[in-house]
Structure 1
Amino acid sequence: MPGFCIFYTEINEKTLIMKKLHGLFMAICLAVIPALQSCDDVEGYSLGDMTPPLWATVRVTGSAFYLDCDVWGTLWPVNTNMGWYNPADGQRVITTFNPLWDNYEGFDHAVKILTLEQVLTKEVETLTPENDGDFGNDPVYGASMGISGGYMNLYFTQNLPAKTRHRISLVRPADDKELYGEDGYIHLELRYNTYDDVTGIPQPAVVSYNLNSLDMTSETKGIKLKLNSGEDGETEVVFERESPDDNTEKMRNLDLSKVQLK
């Protein structure tokens, strides 16, 4: 058979055994190769496939976990070398992965996780006259924001502190009438407190805010966000409901190990 050349000089018991093993090996190959070709044709994935950085939320189930990806849906990790990772339900992450199979045991995909970067995950807080000073209003530099998966995701450049972690907060007014404006938008504000502790060392930083506490009805047009931009001063960013954005274009090879935020 082409590709397999075995020569025998005499017929004996050892030779017969070798022939039987060779025949068994060929039978297995012929059975497996079409199946592999079929999987490749149907699924369209290979071990070389790799996604760009994507936002996802960790979901813990029993002693295991899966990812709810903003773009790909539910992902079941098949890695056997992730004993280092301690999953927390609701934790936001930026991940890249190798998709392996679709519709895997109730999940949208089975995947091999390639990178998994945990992101500071926070709730929307209430702004009052009493706590206004706690939130601060320092300028935020290099801000890039997007909304996906029920979260507002913020990428910016932090001027690293020497001692005190900076506080970065998404706040809402205490009065619901101010929160849910007559213009059909939800009104929020991004507040940043450096505590006057900066070193001049820039560091990419990321934070994700859970928007599930907000009452977003079918008539909600979107979100209007006030912030003190380091480039533009006091400004307002509008997020239309019908145009979600996962804003991960700057997040390749992202290292968040030096970020000092709370």
Structure 2
Amino acid sequence: MLLRRGRVGEETTDQRLLDTTGPTDWLHTDPWRVLRITSEFVEGFGGLAELPPAVSVFGSARTARDSAEYQAGMEIGRTLAEAGYAVITGGGPGAMEAANRGASEAGGVSVGLGIELPFEQGLNQYVDLGLNFRYFFVRKTMFVKYAEGFVVLPGGFGTLDELFEALTLVQTRKVTRFPVVLFGTRYWGGLVDWLRDTLIAQGKASPADLELFHVTDDVDEVMKILADARRRNGSSDQVAAERAAYAAFEEDVTEL
């Protein structure tokens, strides 16, 4: 920008930066938010880029530790870790804690992606690699980008949000290597009936969309679905190549 004559100010930009603290309202403006959003993406990509093949596990923060659902979450986390997967959750209590606990106790990679909320929640004690986010949409990008599939335990609005986000991405082919498994036939049965008998029956979705997800009560079947998807898509080799390329790029940038 060129300024001449009466448009030239008496102060310079450096002077304004260094001489005063100034108001803090700018911290809450949209341009500054863009920078914060960008920083969250950068931190997320940098923190998760070198993960091994991973699976995101979702479920209710209200799941009690003495419940069958919590035990199922632990078993799923443990089995995934034993198969070489990193386990990614929302990092909170309940079903998320169960999956992280199972992975951690099995010696696997236990990841928690937390979110800033009006009420304090924090990351559970079984998270070994944790990131906290301000923005839901950044966090959800990380869940999808660094996972080869979703396992969805019984949960509430947040779990449903993550489930339907994944199904929408698969349906619209925004992601093409992504099995979605609903664990708990009794819990999810009513939703599946509604999708088939109302949503699809009224033409709001295609009958083929019921094939975008699987419903089971069997951890072995969960693992088979994930293994079949990996073989079918060759995703492990592709993901490993992408991450190696990113790591090399990051090393070159650091040297510069």
Global fold match (TM > 0.5): no
With normalisation by structure 1, the TM-score equals 0.25
Structure with more strand by fraction: 1
Structure with more helix by fraction: 2
